[in-house]
Structure 1
Amino acid sequence: MPSALITGITGQDGSYLAELLLQKGYRVYGMVRRASTFNCERIRHILDDIEFIDADLLDQMSLLQALRHSHADEVYNLAAMSFVATSFVQPVATGEYTGLSVARMLEALRQVEWSVRFYQASTSEMFGNVQAIPQNELTSFYPRSPYGVAKLYAHWMTVNFRESYSLYACSGILFNHESPRRGLEFVTRKITHAVAQIHLGLLQSFSLGNLEARRDWGFAGDYVEAMWRMLQQDEPSDYVVATGVSHSVRDFVDAAFACVGIEDWSPYVRVEPQLFRPAEVEQLLGDASKAAEQLGWTPTKGFEELVRDMVENDIQQLAQAREALKKGSYAITNPAR
């Protein structure tokens, strides 16, 4: 039975990846930071199948101990401070958790006594002020946020350790990927959750920033399959993972309101200048030809289906929560798909 260690296992990607690896017969270890509370909502349905290890991205010794405890064949490093807006407010913390933590993990991997395959979660935010459209593995980077800068450091450290020490280390340059499990602070889930509230009569309106920013949005469940495939190749390499189709935030709002039968959504949405980024990323569009050719990977879920899934799930959960409140129970028993 192969074993895998996942950092960030309680996040969106970590939950889908844990499901995938369990289905493939892996022994799955989840690295978590000790805290007074444990947010396990996304993985509640598989908690009994995962062994959790306390460690901290800022403590290299704890990372080494986590590796030795799990004796992992594969490590998927998904943990980071991943909300771009917060990175402008906390640039130093973002550098520590998103950038320097990867150097600590790579150094820990170099010290263990067996061969480990390593996946680093890179991001399309590294392209930032894009130098070519679409972006592929050879496109120059130009990050436009502390998050993107920290991820770029982590990306190049992964390449450096691969070339310097012959580590099997890959980076997946993943473009935006969403799901019903996306956090409410991200614009996609903010939109679908607000639309669901408006549909149920729980909200009158909500605020957004730049409606014209364009992103390449895919389904997170598809993207974790690409992560796994990267670590099954004979030689390590880096891959762009994307759908190859770009939509604006306005398009996302259109699609979300269409799910509840609203064509003119202007009365429900306010554009607030303070929600714009200090340095905006106007367009991201990925070319995943290498992943298609070498990994045999292609996305399975399109934009409209993805948005519909998110809106319907939010409506279902909000309606269920409302009924639970009427009955005096706060439990939500139907997890996000």
Structure 2
Amino acid sequence: MKKALVTGVTGQDGSYLSEFLLKRGYKVFALRRRTSMPIYVNVEHIKDQLEWIDGDLTDLASLIRAVQIADPDEIYNLAAQSFVGTSWNQPFATGEMTGLGVTNMLEAIRLIKPNARFYQASTSEMFGKVAEVPQRETTPFYPRSPYSAAKLYGHWMTINYRESFSMFACSGILFNHESPRRGLEFVTRKITNGVAKIKLGLQNELRLGNLDSKRDWGFAGDYVKAMWLMLQQDQPDDYVISTGETHSVREFVETAFSYVGLNWKSYVVQDERFMRPAEVDLLLGDCSKAEKKLGWKKSVDFRALVHMMVDHDLERLQVNEPVRRMAL
């Protein structure tokens, strides 16, 4: 039985990856950051199948302990302060967890289990003010937020540990990937949740920022398979994972509203409060390397992804709404 240590298990990617690994017979150890009230909504259905270890990316000693306990064959670092908007409000905390936290994990692996295979969750946000379209593994980086700058630090530290200590360390430069498990603060889920509420008469407008930003959106459930595939190769390397298609926020909005028979223009209000200080205008990935070397391909297209997320929020709100009204 292979053993894997996963950070960020309760998030979108961590939950899909844990499911994926469990189905393949792995023993999955989940690093859990101590909070007064842990949130398990994404992993409630598999919570009892996971081996939980308390730890924190900002605490090297706890990571050393976690690696000692799990003795893992593979380690997936998915934990981070991952919301771009929050990174501007908390730049130091973002740098400590999203950047330095990667170094802490790499150092724990180097000291305790140097032959373990390591996956670092990098991001297309590192391309920022893009130097070329589409973006590939060789495209220069130009981060435009504390979040993407911290991710870039973690990305380069992964490369440095790989080259300096011959560690099997990979970075997946994942373009935007979404699902019904995405947090409500992210624009995609904010849109689908807002559409569902408007359709059900629970809200009458949806306030958004820049509608012209373009992103390469895929399904998170597809992308976790790429993470696993990277650690099954003979040699460690870095890979762009994307769909090769770009769509604007406006297209996402239009697709979501039209799915429930509504005209988005009647409900969407642009709000300056949701504009980024430094915008990333266009992200479009070239995943040909991953397709060729990993044999990876997407299975869910853009329209199906939006519909999936709207359906989930409609169902969730219809189930919970009677209870909410009774409680008033």
* TM value normalised by structure 2: 0.98
Determine the C-alpha separation between the residues in 1 that align with 2:111 and 2:27: 22
Determine the structure 1 residue equivalent to 2:23: 23
Determine the structure 2 residue equivalent to 1:91: 91
Determine the structure 2 residue equivalent to 1:181: 181
Determine the structure 2 residue equivalent to 1:299: 298
Q: What secondary structure is seen at the aligned counterpart in 1 of 2:30?
A: strand
Determine the structure 2 residue equivalent to 1:333: none
Q: How far off its partner does 1:23 sit?
A: 0.3
Determine the structure 2 residue equivalent to 1:172: 172
After superposition, what is the alpha-carbon deviation per residue over 1:212-253, rounded to whole angstroms, capped at 9, x for unaligned? 000000000000000000000000000000000000000000
Determine the C-alpha separation between the residues in 1 that align with 2:112 and 2:89: 36
Determine the structure 1 residue equivalent to 2:264: 265
Determine the C-alpha separation between the residues in 1 that align with 2:199 and 2:145: 34
After superposition, what is the alpha-carbon deviation per residue over 1:169-198, rounded to whole angstroms, capped at 9, x for unaligned? 000000000000000000000000000000
**What is the Cα-based RMSD across aligned positions, in Å?**
1.1
After superposition, what is the alpha-carbon deviation per residue over 1:3-59, rounded to whole angstroms, capped at 9, x for unaligned? 000000000000000000000000001001111111000000001100100001111
Amino acid at match of 1:47: K
Q: How far off its partner does 1:325 sit?
A: 3.6
Amino acid at match of 2:304: E
Determine the C-alpha separation between the residues in 1 that align with 2:321 and 2:147: 36
Amino acid at match of 2:279: E
Determine the C-alpha separation between the residues in 2 that align with 1:129 and 1:43: 35
Amino acid at match of 2:269: R
Structure 2 alignment gaps of length 5 or more? none
Determine the C-alpha separation between the residues in 2 that align with 1:183 and 1:286: 23
Determine the structure 2 residue equivalent to 1:316: 315
Q: What secondary structure is seen at the aligned counterpart in 1 of 2:44?
A: helix
Amino acid at match of 1:57: L
Aligned pairs, how many? 328
Q: How far off its partner does 1:327 sit?
A: 6.3
1:171-210 equivalences under 5 Å are 171-210=171-210
Determine the C-alpha separation between the residues in 2 that align with 1:326 and 1:316: 16
Q: What secondary structure is seen at the aligned counterpart in 1 of 2:75?
A: strand
Amino acid at match of 1:283: L
Amino acid at match of 1:34: R
Q: How far off its partner does 1:274 sit?
A: 2.1
Determine the C-alpha separation between the residues in 2 that align with 1:101 and 1:69: 19
Do the aligned residues in 1 keep the contact of 2:194 with 2:206 (CA within 8 Å)?
yes
Determine the structure 1 residue equivalent to 2:111: 111
Determine the structure 2 residue equivalent to 1:66: 66
The answer as to 2:295 corresponding to 1:286 is no
Determine the structure 1 residue equivalent to 2:240: 240
Q: What secondary structure is seen at the aligned counterpart in 2 of 1:96?
A: helix
After superposition, what is the alpha-carbon deviation per residue over 1:128-183, rounded to whole angstroms, capped at 9, x for unaligned? 00000000000000000000000000000000000000000000000000000000
* TM value normalised by structure 1: 0.96
